[in-house]
Amino acid sequence: MANPLSLLGEIHTAISIVPAIAGLYSFAKYRSIRPETSVGKVYLATLALSAISAFGLSSTGGFNPGHALAIIVLVVSAICLVLPKLGFLGRLIPYLRNLGFSFTYFLLWVPGINETLSRLPPSNPIGNGPDSPPVQTALLIWVVLFAAGSLAQAFLVSRGQARRVAA
């Protein structure tokens, strides 16, 4: 049987579901995460809350890979938000911004995949941690999807086909 979630773990999980859904909606509607939209603002705010709440979680009692992922998510999000102000990057800005925000979405799901497969179904979880073959296979599939999606986004930006937000 899987380890039960702590109260903070339950709160963190509930918070983390919001950016997962908001990011998916944003990808479907805009083909990217757009921080100037309502759904983009929800995504970034709840992603930050999810990352911050992750610092209170530790089965080992110290710094762990989840904490490192949370730091990376916060740093990449901040960089993506200031990218438009870095005019010297010119035409690279939309590519870097899409890649960065997509990377935050990718990282959001890495512990989610591990935790979900290591806890469900409760009576006989599919995996038993990040080193188990089912979890590693799911993460490999997730890496391939991230790479393919990032390439598709770059293609859409290069063709000017990324949906623009109505002004």
For the stretch 83-110, pLDDT in tens is 999 989 888 999 999 999 999 999 999 9
pLDDT of 59 reads 66
User: Which range marks the domain in which residue 79 is found?
Assistant: 7-158
Answer for the pair 35, 46: CB distance below 8 angstroms, yes or no. no
The 10s digit of each residue's pLDDT in 125-166 is 999 888 999 999 999 999 999 999 999 999 988 888 555 543
Residue 20 has pLDDT above 60, yes or no: yes
What domain count does the chain have? 1
122, part of any domain: yes
pTM for this model (two decimals) = 0.88
Please indicate, yes or no, if residue 165 is contained in any of the structural domains: no
Q: What is the pLDDT of residue 162?
A: 55
Residue 140 to residue 136: CA distance in whole angstroms: 6
163 inside domain: no
Give the integer Cα–Cα distance in Å for 10 and 40: 24
- Decide if 38 is inside a domain: yes
Note whether residue 72 is domain-resident: yes
- Cβ burial of 147 (10 Å; 0-12, 13-18, 19+) is exposed
Contact 50, 22 (CB under 8 A): no
Q: Evaluate whether residue 164 is within a structural domain.
A: no
